[in-house]
A and B are shown apart, each in its own frame.
Chain A
Amino acid sequence: GDSVTQMEGPVTLSEEAFLTINCTYTATGYPSLFWYVQYPGEGLQLLLKATKADDKGSNKGFEATYRKETTSFHLEKGSVQVSDSAVYFCALIGGGGSYIPTFGRGTSLIVHP
């Protein structure tokens, strides 16, 4: 079945540092890929998405490129802020005709001033 693998956290950075959170996936067909973010005490919310190979999703300074050849969708941000501290989830939908969103285990990001 479909699966998503994320790097383990927590990722701890100083403010203005460069962020990369790795995500790779296994799926048949051509899934859509997503990053969701969960701030403390809140529900998950969509951060960005990409629906086909080589698409780049972006939002709030975050970016991720759909790489079919490496089955990856790594999340990046050039300069993190304390307010970016949250848990980030990589997810996919639609691999092999499945309409069930599949999530990775999440990566916690802690940004220090």
Chain B
Amino acid sequence: DTGVSQNPRHKITKRGQNVTFRCDPISEHNRLYWYRQTLGQGPEFLTYFQNEAQLEKSRLLSDRFSAERPKGSFSTLEIQRTEQGDSAMYLCASSKTTATNEKLFFGSGTQLSVL
């Protein structure tokens, strides 16, 4: 169990640029979640995958955001034409099963700063 890995840890970009983040979940974990966290707030749901299928996206998620999980392993989150309001910590979490009492394993996050 090597934990959930997220890369990069920090990303600084200029407004209008595209950015991509990567998440490597714990091996054999079926579910993978993306959350966004801003200072003083809790994690806000963005989207989640069951294996390679993207099952749900937040209604708050702009069309500029897209996520993939090819082959049900690692996942990428891309933000196109970044805006200053996109500055946040982006968290990835995985869980082994679909049970509602299953705990999530979180990565350390990718801190995005849009200048």
Contacts and interface: CB of A to CB of B under 8 A. Distances in A.
Given A43-B109, A44-B91, A100 B104 contact: no
A31 B106 CA distance: 20
Given A43-B108, A51-B101, A93-B101, A100 B43 contact: no
B42 A49 contact: no
Q: Is the interface of B mostly helix, strand, loop or mixed?
A: loop
Contact of B100 (A42, A43, A99): A99
B46 to A, nearest CB: 10
Interface residues of B, number: 25
Nearest to B92: A43
Interface of A: 4, 6, 31-32, 34, 36, 41-46, 49, 51, 89, 91, 93-94, 99-106
Given A41-B108, A102-B45, 20 more contacts: A32-B101, A43-B91, A43-B106, A43-B109, A44-B43, A44-B106, A45-B105, A46-B103, A89-B43, A93-B100, A99-B100, A100-B33, A100-B48, A100-B56, A101-B33, A101-B45, A103-B35, A103-B44, A105-B41, A106-B42
